[in-house]
Chains A and B, each alone.
Chain A
Amino acid sequence: SQQGEEDPQALSIQEGENATMNCSYKTSINNLQWYRQNSGRGLVHLILIRSNEREKHSGRLRVTLDTSKKSSSLLITASRAADTASYFCATDGGYTGTASKLTFGTGTRLQVTL
């Protein structure tokens, strides 16, 4: 079952513009992570935000988390053509049994054009 749902499913912007992607989830979490996947490649971890954090930055990335609304957003500022990829949020609900389970959403496909 999907925990995180990204919105929009697809986004097309021009180079230099900002891109915002949203993620909503259903149950309580320990942390939320964002990953990037270039076409035909594996996922690459971008940023992790814990449930007691509200905002986190990493280079051109800004992630916010609102646990009361069960939502997160990923902002990419000054986008570049190289940012073209699919972006996934993943929620970590904490340990269940022997390990924590990371549940992925269906992703937002970002296209950055010159």
Chain B
Amino acid sequence: NAGVTQTPKFRVLKTGQSMTLLCAQDMNHEYMYWYRQDPGMGLRLIHYSVGEGTTAKGEVPDGYNVSRLKKQNFLLGLESAAPSQTSVYFCASSYGPGERFFGPGTRLTVL
């Protein structure tokens, strides 16, 4: 099993550009999450999903959109990137409220 995978691993964008981060899990988890990690801030929840076709806002959702068209995939979109969105993005999945399984992260720089 690959667990949770994320693509791409690195990306540099210019302000105003758009991009989509892809997360895939092969553990048949219902719940999936997108976090961002910034220095000194810990991880903050952006959006999450409790099942195929559902999404919900987390702690810092502004500037991001998500979709969960298939149970195994969770996409995070930036429609118009801003320098404040420079961060490391982590996807995670879980069966329920317990242990989260994390992907390796995507390092995004917005110039």
Contacts and interface: CB of A to CB of B under 8 A. Distances in A.
B2 interface: no
Interface residues of B, number: 27
A88 B101 CA distance: 14
Nearest to A47: B99
B17 to A, nearest CB: 25
A43 B45 contact: no
A92 B96 CA distance: 11
B31 A99 contact: yes
10 nearest A-B residue pairs (beta carbon): A100-B97, A42-B102, A104-B43, A104-B42, A45-B99, A106-B42, A43-B102, A42-B104, A99-B50, A98-B50
Interface string A72-113: 000000000000000010101011011111111111000000
Interface of A: 1-2, 4, 30-31, 33, 35, 40-45, 48, 88, 90, 92, 94-95, 97-107
A105 B104 CA distance: 19
Contact of B41 (A35, A90, A106): A106
Contacts, number: 64
B90 A95 contact: no
Nearest to B54: A98
A25 to B, nearest CB: 12
A48 B98 contact: yes
Given A42-B104, A98-B56, 8 more contacts: A33-B99, A33-B100, A40-B105, A42-B90, A42-B105, A43-B92, A45-B99, A101-B59
Interface in B52-111: 54, 56, 58-59, 90, 92, 96-105
Contacts of A42: 4, 90, 102-105
Contacts of A88: 42-43
Max chain A C-beta neighbours (<10 A), residue from B31, B50, B56, B99? B99
Contacts of A48: 98-99
B48 interface: yes
B100 A95 contact: no
